[in-house]
Amino acid sequence: MTALVGAATSGPGAPPEVEPVDEPVAGRKRRRWAPYLLLLPGGLWLLLFFVLPSVQLAATSLYDRSGSLETGYQQAFAVGNYLEAIQAYWPHLVRSAVYAGIATVICLVLGYPLAYAIAQKSGRWRNLLLVCVIAPFFTTFLVRTLAWKSILSDNGWLVGFFRGLPFVPDDFRLLATPAAVVCGLVYNFLPFMVLPLYASLDRLDGRLLEASRDLYAKPAATFRKVTLPLSMPGVIAGTLLTFIPAAGDYINAELLGTPNEYMIGNVIDSAFLVRLDYPQAAALSFLLMATILVMVFSYVRAAGTEEVV
């Protein structure tokens, strides 16, 4: 029987056996190096415009502050620059974290319903609503903040409306207050919250929501048990994209506040461009980056997920 099978498979009418052809060594090498070649442009960009400036900034933060631009700074590994910066400007660091945190929470409260409505309820108006969300980006950051300065001014219609209420004092004002700075942060960074939320909510499987309703879950329970957990990657990405730039912002505090509302970004800007104290400015920059990194990693760990995009 075995002989017959062998004859049938090796006879003149049987298909010829195809021997595997080894891939050339050069082809295997090209395939192995292809991913690294694709990463090369982005890696060079990060090296030139992020890693090298960061190394230079770290070196500058350790210069001896007794020098100047005229006499030149000397590398003295002055770690004390960081201690002096913390002692002198810790209120600005705390204020930056508080303002950015409040603005992030407000953006989440405002942005989540908006993103949900666009993703699940907008229908044929979806593209138009998305354009409206990103439309502020068509105008520069500075012009948008100046517009808010006009809206919140003492002679503006908004303050006039509040002063017309019987329980609001005549000297009520919004400009040059912490509320004005937070309002500017919320307005300027709200799209950074809405877009990741929309991307996450748009991927929701409608069958899961239908199954929740079939199991007699109320809308609040459906949101708490299904919608919110599945949209957590968008929530985390949105809060990070909002908090990180808001913590380092200085335009809103400069235009909408007073020195009493200045954030750490205003101090760094003044140290670099006005006081020309490069070592302290560099030390403050690294302190800001370290503070943000600690808060971000703590937040991501507490959120219980690493999928943030």
At 53-98, the pLDDT tens digits run: 989 988 999 988 776 666 777 778 888 889 999 999 999 999 999 9
- How many C-alpha atoms does 172 have within 13 Å on its Cβ side? 17
- pLDDT above 70: residue 304: no
Q: Which residue has the higher pLDDT, 8 or 292?
A: 292
Q: Is residue 55 part of a domain?
A: no
Residue 309 burial (C-beta neighbours within 10 Å; 0-12, 13-18, 19+): exposed
- Mean pLDDT over each residue of the chain, to the nearest integer: 85
- pLDDT of the residue at 4: 44
- pLDDT above 50: residue 100: yes
pLDDT band for 1, please (50, 70, 90 cuts).
very low
Q: Is residue 23 part of a domain?
A: no
In contact, 115 and 134? CB cutoff 8 Å: no
Q: Is residue 56 part of a domain?
A: no
pLDDT tens per residue, range 6-26: 444 555 555 555 555 555 666
- pLDDT above 80: residue 243: yes
Structurally, the chain folds into a number of domains equal to 1
pLDDT band for 309, please (50, 70, 90 cuts).
very low
Q: Is residue 24 part of a domain?
A: no
Q: Is residue 9 part of a domain?
A: no
- pLDDT above 50: residue 190: yes
- pLDDT of the residue at 102: 96
The one-letter amino acid code at 111 reads G
- pLDDT of the residue at 34: 81
- pLDDT of the residue at 180: 94
Please give the average per-residue pLDDT across 176-191, as a whole number: 94
Q: What are phi and psi of 63, to 5 degrees?
A: -70, 160
Q: Is residue 76 part of a domain?
A: no
Residue keyed to tokens 């499987």: 205
Please give the average per-residue pLDDT across 31-57, as a whole number: 89
Range of the domain at 168: 81-303
- pLDDT of the residue at 18: 53
Q: Which residue has the higher pLDDT, 214 or 98?
A: 98
| CA separation for the pair 263, 249 (Å, rounded) | 8
- pLDDT of the residue at 184: 95
- The secondary structure of the chain as a DSSP string is -HHHHHHHHHSTTSPPP-PPPPPPHHHHHHHHHHHHHHHHHHHHHHIIIIIHHHHHHHHHTTB-TT--TTT---B---THHHHHHHHHHHHHHHHHHHHHHHHHHHHHHHHHHHHHIIIII-GGGHHHHHHHHHGGGGS-HHHHHHHHHHHTSTTSHHHHHHHTSTTS-TT---TTSHHHHHHHHHHHHHHHHHHHHHHHHHT--HHHHHHHHHTT--HHHHIIIIIHHHTHHHHHHHHHHHHHHHHT--HHHHHHS-GGG--HHHHHHHHHHTS--HHHHHHHHHHHHHHHHHHHHHHHHHHT-----
- pLDDT of the residue at 23: 56
Question: Token digits for 162?
Answer: 């509040």
Rg of the Cα atoms in the chain: 29
Lowest model confidence (mean pLDDT) among 17-26, 117-126, 256-265: 17-26
Q: Is residue 166 part of a domain?
A: yes
pLDDT band for 45, please (50, 70, 90 cuts).
very high
Q: Is residue 140 part of a domain?
A: yes
- pLDDT of the residue at 14: 52
Q: What are phi and psi of 70, to 5 degrees?
A: -75, -45
CATH number, domain of 199, equals 1.10.3720.10
- pLDDT of the residue at 156: 87
- pLDDT above 80: residue 132: yes
